[in-house]
Amino acid sequence: MRLNDLMTRKEQAIELFKRQFNCSQAVFTAYRQKDVLSEQDALKLSTIFGAGVACTGNGPCGALSGALMAISMQHGRGDLESVEAKGKTYVLGQQLLAEFKERMGASACEVIIGINIGTPENLATAREQKLFETRCVDAVKTACDILDKIL
């Protein structure tokens, strides 16, 4: 599944999410450095951060985790000489965290969705209430809007 290069990265992320990739996969894959990491590898790397962490419903929102990975991929420290890169990455990450929490009211998956989706029963309830199509899409859009501003 190749993303359409004419779409904005935000549109790509929303499309990925609508195709049943998780929130972390959607954001990270759309914002990865395409010349460094393939779409398939990005999807694989970010899988574990969906639905909280490892589909536990706990931990940070997956869209937020994917956005943090995108910041780190672009600005992170990759060698001993890039000492300043770590600090810049942390500053951008803190900016993302603060703005995401302000806009979404929280950074935790469970709080954003309003239910812990870590059990089969709660996951089914979230699907019935269409929380993935509403709250999670909002989280993906919010993470993308912030990334577009700070990257």
Q: What is the DSSP secondary-structure string of 88-111?
A: HHHHHHHHHHHHHHHHHS-SBHHH
pLDDT of 6 reads 77
Q: Where are the domains of the chain?
A: 9-150
Please determine, for residue 1, whether its predicted confidence score (pLDDT) is greater than 70: no
State how far the Cα of 67 lies from the Cα of 65, in Å rounded to an integer. Answer: 5
State how far the Cα of 95 lies from the Cα of 136, in Å rounded to an integer. Answer: 20
pLDDT digits (tens, 9 = 90+) for 57-92: 899 999 999 999 999 999 999 999 888 999 999 999
